[in-house]
Amino acid sequence: MEISKIYITLKEAENLIFNRFLNIPTSRLKVTKAKELFSINILVNNLGIIKTGEHNLTILFSAVNTFEIPEVEKSLFINSFFMPAGMIKETSRKFKDEPDTGFFKSEEMLETIPFYSHLRNGFVGVYKELIINNNKNSINTIGNNFFKNFENLTPFKSAIIKEFIANNDFPLLQFDPNTFRADKAYRVAWFLKNTSDILVNGSKLAEKKTEKQKASTKEWFKDFLNNNNTVSLPKFITTIPEELIEEQAFIMGYYFVAFNYEELLENPKSIKSILEVVPANIQEETYLWAYFFFSMLNKNMLRLFFLKSFQNNEITLEKLALHTALNIENITSDFIFSNLEFINLPLQNQISELWELKYGVQNGNPTIVPKSNVMDVFSNALSPNNINNIGIVASSNFDFFDAFINMAWMNKKTFALELQNPEAVFYGETTFENEAFVKKFNIKPKPFSKLLDAKKKVLVVFVGKDKPQLLNFYAVCLGDAIQFQFDKIVCIWLVKESSDEILTPKFSLEKDELKGKIENAFDNKVPVELMVKNWNNPNDNEIKRNCFNALKGYKTSEIEVVHENFDTIQAQWLLHGNTEFYIQDKPKNLYAFYNSI
């Protein structure tokens, strides 16, 4: 792989990231070090640098391996540009604001390439779907055949795609103004009207049709429009006119997304339901056309990244998008599509590449943990798998002792032993008064502080609606050790409230009161960070992000979790963004991911 180092400005970097391409003058290659406005350099695979004019170069985003940026711009690239850490390298050089000048452009340079970004998003969306299951036949045959369509689009496909992208949405054709209809009806109306106009009146096959045959085809469109729904779709597929058969998969793919767009936004995976209503011979092609149109409007495509092993394939797709965009504008392009390579990586290689790209971890080799065992990562002396191996020596009775099945009650006059595990190791503080009982029953308790690993630095607690017994044990029996040893306490308050209630002063007051209680329980000597998870909000992105920020810089071995209101879901929150472990759910590949903050 040949690599070029190219210096660009911050504004150019932004254009490259959001447009997924950048035009620069060829003279830029003469800039060999950062200076003035050229504060950023990019390391680019030469396969993705295309000469698009005598004095003009186009850089494709997928060819960029690294952005070397001033360290003050890291937050911008991560939080606003959605760049993964593995594509960013910080330097101490200074950044200079750009003036409004044409200094950076050649005379012939295109400011933008119309249609490119939409087409590119459509292509990478389809490719992601193809490699999810990594079926060799799907990629080598169905996928490559699908992309070859774009080397020389039929006039019909080209006209529909051009209008779709120019509209930046599904075009609408309003009819029957006296009747209220959902947008899906107007989207389908526009598509069927234009399909009819192009294919019935404009195709070469249509020229051979009699007026009666054309009228029959138009009647099919009219009937389709008046009865369009996914239930009746099979009927129209089986009666499709002859001149439409070549475009059948394209028509059905567009129709399905246009008709179901709102539902697909809520649940993109439901797009697969199209396979249930189309004939087997066009199922996969129809699905790819549907996903193509859906992906062209999907803003998340700017957060989609492929592992480095797939770079050459991604460059090929972006070249195809450039070629198609130029062709739609009747600009000559000599690009010839080459088949995408089938790639099959072992899981450990996938994880290593993912860790390098997503987190910037070189030679990452995280421990693979099945989802069902993820709580074991935070196992400690008081977790459910260990707590029954512990005995407590106590002279006073507290409610939180109910959590233990092995207890030795001792004071000056009495002794009582509740022992369900003869092998239990006892912990507690012995006194002169109960020393005789300790010797008599051969109980040699260790100090409570020994329940805490010496490496622990953060206490994580989940507070629900029930009284926190185990947390109270930590406060009363381990409080001194925690005050001496721990940096902070992270509390996640689990509630079930309306979104409006969460914003009220009353709720804010309750939140402050809970934080105060926890601080007081540890004598106000350990800082408390409190965050809220509302179970009525099914989206966990915010709580994952908050946990990541609170625990950033700490190893999992330094985190002590109070195993109360704690299960697999909460364990996954705590491991969000963690590079020590990979949580393995059902078998899947990691070839592509959506980057999140």
Residue 537 and residue 472 share a domain:
yes
Winning range, highest mean pLDDT, from 32-36, 123-127, 168-172: 123-127
Residue 149 and residue 133 share a domain:
yes
Residue 62 in domain: yes
Quick one: CA torsion of 70, 73, 74, 80, rounded to 10 degrees? Answer: -150
Domain holding 470, by residue range, is 376-578
- pLDDT-derived band at 566, boundaries 50, 70, 90: very high
Query: Rg of the chain's alpha carbons, rounded to an integer?
Result: 32
What's the whole-number mean pLDDT along residues 517-521? Answer: 96
Q: Residues 26, 29, 313, CA angle at the centre, nearest 5°?
A: 80
Backbone angles phi, psi at 550, to 5 degrees: -70, -30
Q: How would you classify residue 577: left for phi > 0, otherwise alpha for psi between -120 and 50, otherwise beta?
A: left
Check: pTM over 0.85? Answer yes or no.
no
Residue 557 in domain: yes
- Cβ(42)–Cβ(12) below 8 Å: no
Alpha-carbon 163 to chain mean position: 30
Alpha-carbon 63 to chain mean position: 21
Q: How far apart are CA 146 and CA 369, in angstroms?
A: 38
Residue 143 and residue 244 share a domain:
yes
**Interval 321-348: pLDDT, tens:** 999 988 888 777 778 888 999 999 999 9
Residue 360 in domain: no
Both tokens of residue 456? 């622990």
Residue 104 and residue 118 share a domain:
no
**Interval 205-252: pLDDT, tens:** 455 566 766 677 777 777 776 665 556 666 667 777 777 778 889 988
Residue 159 and residue 48 share a domain:
no
The domain boundary, picked from 51, 74, 109, lies at: 109
Residue 262 and residue 121 share a domain:
yes
Residue 185 and residue 56 share a domain:
no
Q: Residues 580, 458, 78, CA angle at the centre, nearest 5°?
A: 55
**Interval 178-198: pLDDT, tens:** 565 677 778 878 887 787 777
Quick check: 411 pLDDT over 50?
yes
Residue 118 and residue 100 share a domain:
no
What's the whole-number mean pLDDT along residues 433-448? Answer: 72
- What sign has the CA pseudo-torsion 289, 290, 293, 295? negative
Residue 442 and residue 306 share a domain:
no
User: Which single residue is written with the structure tokens 């051979």?
Assistant: 208
What is residue 197's predicted lDDT score, i.e. its pLDDT? 74
Burial of 12 (0-12, 13-18, 19+ CB in 10 A): buried
Q: How many CA atoms lie within 13 A of 458 on its CB side?
A: 19
Residue 444 and residue 529 share a domain:
yes
Residue 306 and residue 416 share a domain:
no
Helix (H) or strand (E) holding 251: helix 248-266
Residue 386 and residue 484 share a domain:
yes
Q: 592 - beta bridge partners?
A: 306
Quick check: 111 pLDDT over 60?
no
Residue 570 in domain: yes
Number of folded domains that form the chain: 3
Q: Tell me what the pLDDT averaged over the chain comes to.
A: 86
